[in-house]
Amino acid sequence: MKLRFLARSFFAALLTFALVQTAPGQQSYKDLKFPPLKPIKMPKVKRTVLPNGMIVLLVEDHELPLVEASMRIGVGGVYDPADKVGLASITGEVMRTGGSTSRSGDEIDDALEQVGAVVEVGIGRTSGYATVSALKEHADLAFGILADILEHPAFPEDKIELAKIEQRSAIARRNDDPMQVIMREFTKLIYGADSPYARHPEYATIDRISRADLVAFHRKFFHPNNVILGVWGDFKTDEMIARLRKIFGGWEKVPFQRPSLPQVKYTFDYSVNYIEKPELSQSYIMLGHIGGIRKNPDYFTWIVLNEILGGGFSSRLVRNVRSRMGLAYSVFGAYGANYDYPGMFYVGCQTKLGTTVKAIRAMLQQVKDIRDSGITDDELKLAKESFLNSFVFNFDTKREIVERLMTYEYYGYPKDFLTRIRKGVEKVTKEDVQRAARKYLHPDKVRILVEGNQKGFDEPLSVLGKVNRIDITIPEPKEETPKASKAELEKGRALLAQAAAVCGGEKLKQVRTIRQVSQVTIKTPQGDMAIHSERILVWPDRAWEKMTLPMGSMTSVTVGNQSWMITPKGVQDVPAERAKEARENIFRELPWLLRRASDGDLTVQALGQKQVEGKTYDVLLLRDEKQGFSTRLYLDPATHKPLRQHYRGRVMGAPTQVNEVYEAFRTVDGVAFPVRTKVFANGKEFAEAQVDTIQVNVQVPDSLFQRPSR
User: Does residue 597 sit in the same domain as residue 698?
Assistant: yes
Give the C-alpha distances (Å, rounded to integers) separating 530 from 519, 520, 566. 7, 6, 20
Is the separation of the CB atoms in 346 and 333 below 8 Å?
yes
Q: How many helices (H) and strands (E) does the chain have?
A: 19, 27
Sort residue 600 into left (φ over 0), alpha (ψ -120 to 50) or beta: left
Please count the structural domains in the chain: 3
For residue 400, name the pLDDT band (cuts at 50, 70, 90).
very high
Q: Confidence band (pLDDT; 50, 70, 90) for 5?
A: very low
181-236, pLDDT tens digit by residue? 999 999 999 999 999 999 999 999 999 999 999 999 999 999 999 999 999 999 99
Rounded CA-CA distance 316/403 in Å is 33
Average pLDDT over residues 358-369: 97
Gap between the Cα atoms of 316 and 219, Å rounded: 50
Q: What is the average pLDDT across 316-340?
A: 94
List all residues 6 or more positions away from 281 whose beta carbon is below 8 Å from its beta carbon. Answer: 353, 453, 456
Over residues 13-30, mean pLDDT: 48
CB neighbours (10 Å) of residue 17? Answer: 11
User: Do 414 and 516 have their domain in common?
Assistant: no
Which residues constitute the domain of residue 524? 486-705
One domain, residues 416 and 497: no
- Say if residue 644 is in the same domain as residue 507: yes
Query: Do both 312 and 392 map to the same domain?
Result: yes
- Judge whether 258 lies within some domain: no
Reply yes or no on whether the pLDDT at 10 is more than 60: no
Least confident span in 21-35, 81-95, 658-672, 690-704: 21-35
By the 8 A CB rule, do 672 and 590 touch? Answer: no
In a domain, 664, yes or no: yes
149 shares its domain with 290: no
Residue 160 region by backbone torsions, left for phi larger than 0, else alpha for psi between -120 and 50, else beta: alpha
pLDDT tens digit string along 413-429?
A: 999 999 999 999 999 99
Per-residue pLDDT, 575? 78
Share of the chain above pLDDT 70, in %: 93
Domain boundary at 409, 434, 469, which?
469
Q: What is the pLDDT of residue 475?
A: 87
Give the Cα separation of 513 and 525 in Å (integer): 36
138, part of any domain: yes
> Does 135 map to a domain?
yes
Q: Count CB-CB contacts under 10 A for residue 646.
A: 20
Q: Is 683 helix (H, G, I), strand (E, B) or coil?
A: coil
Are 204 and 342 in the same domain? Answer: no
- We report the CATH number of the domain holding residue 398 as 3.30.830.10
Residues 330 and 294 in one domain: yes
Q: What is the pLDDT of residues 94-128, one digit of tens each?
A: 999 999 999 999 999 999 999 999 999 999 999 99
Residues 287 and 435 in one domain: yes
Within 13 Å and on the Cβ side, how many CA atoms surround 153? 28
Q: Is 172 contained in some domain?
A: yes
User: Are 588 and 663 members of one domain?
Assistant: yes
Distances (CA, A) of 54 to 133, 236, 245, 259, 377: 19, 19, 10, 18, 49
Structural domain includes residue 29: no
| C-alpha–C-alpha distance, residues 245 and 231, integer Å | 13
Predicted confidence band of residue 7 (pLDDT cuts 50, 70, 90): very low
End-to-end CA distance of the chain: 40
Sign of CA pseudo-dihedral 406, 409, 411, 414: positive
Mean residue pLDDT across the chain: 91
Q: Is residue 476 part of a domain?
A: no
Residue 582 forms part of a structural domain: yes
Q: Is the pLDDT of residue 243 over 60?
A: yes
Indicate which CATH number applies to the domain containing 535: 2.50.20.10
- C-alpha to C-alpha distances, 325 to 307, 316, 358, 359, 485, nearest whole angstrom: 20, 12, 10, 9, 67
Q: Do 262 and 78 contact (CB within 8 A), yes or no?
A: yes
Report whether 273 contacts 287 (CB < 8 A): no
69 and 104 housed in the same domain: yes
Q: Where a domain ends, among 438, 469, 500?
A: 469
Amino acid in position 557: V
**What would the mean pLDDT of 547-555 be, rounded to a whole number?**
91
Q: State residue 483's pLDDT score.
A: 84
The three-state secondary structure class of 577 is: helix
pLDDT > 90: what percent of the chain? Answer: 79
Phi, psi of 611 (to 5 degrees): -95, 130
pLDDT at residue 35 in the model: 66
Listed residues 424, 443, 469: the one ending a domain: 469
3-state secondary structure of 698: coil
Looking at the structure, do residues 387 and 504 belong to the same domain, yes or no? no
